[in-house]
Amino acid sequence: MQIHTMLLPTDFSPSAAHACHQGFALAAREQAQVVLLHVLGRSTLAFGDTPLPMRAQLEHEICAEAEQRLTVLAASQTVPVETLVVWGHPAVAICRIAQERQIDLIVMSTHGRIGLAHLFLGSVAERVVRHAPCSVLIIRAPQQA
């Protein structure tokens, strides 16, 4: 498999950081470009009855903070990295970006939820594996001692 462009979605969790580290190492080996993605979910619960102008300002600040975090992460890499912050449902956005950018491989983490947490929360990684237009490499975080 030729890997020219990789998608590394992150939610800034420790498991996502581990997957990004592994993904960047693979990208360096393959001399691939990386799209580093963070998906922000729109939640009416987060904003409640906040007036529209204030909500727009809050959304702008949240987006700017995520962009800054991605920029810091990308700055230390040896491969070409494009950073991208989008709004939407994480699994849907990841698959859409992979399709639009003609991504060859998605490298992402799983939180490893089981039981009721998995039943109620579902799994972004599971949905991406089912619907992605390309191969998906799931990186499990190292077990904590």
98-109 burial by CB neighbour count: b if 16+ within 10 A, else e? beebebbbbbbb
Domain match, 52 and 96 both: no
Predicted confidence band at 41 (pLDDT cuts at 50, 70, 90)?
Answer: confident
Which domain covers residue 100, as residue numbers? 89-145
Regarding predicted confidence, which is higher, 115 or 129?
129
> Which pLDDT belongs to residue 45?
45
Domain match, 122 and 77 both: no
Instruction: Give how many domains the chain has, as a whole number.
Output: 2
Taking all residues of the chain, what is their mean pLDDT, rounded to a whole number? 87
Domain match, 143 and 93 both: yes
Q: Is residue 3 part of a domain?
A: no
Q: Is residue 65 part of a domain?
A: yes
CA atoms within 13 A on the CB side of 15: 14
Domain match, 52 and 81 both: yes
Do residues 128 and 106 make contact, with C-beta atoms less than 8 angstroms apart? yes
- Summarize the confidence of residues 108-125 as an average pLDDT: 64
pLDDT digits (tens, 9 = 90+) for 52-93: 677 778 888 999 999 999 999 999 999 999 999 999 999 999
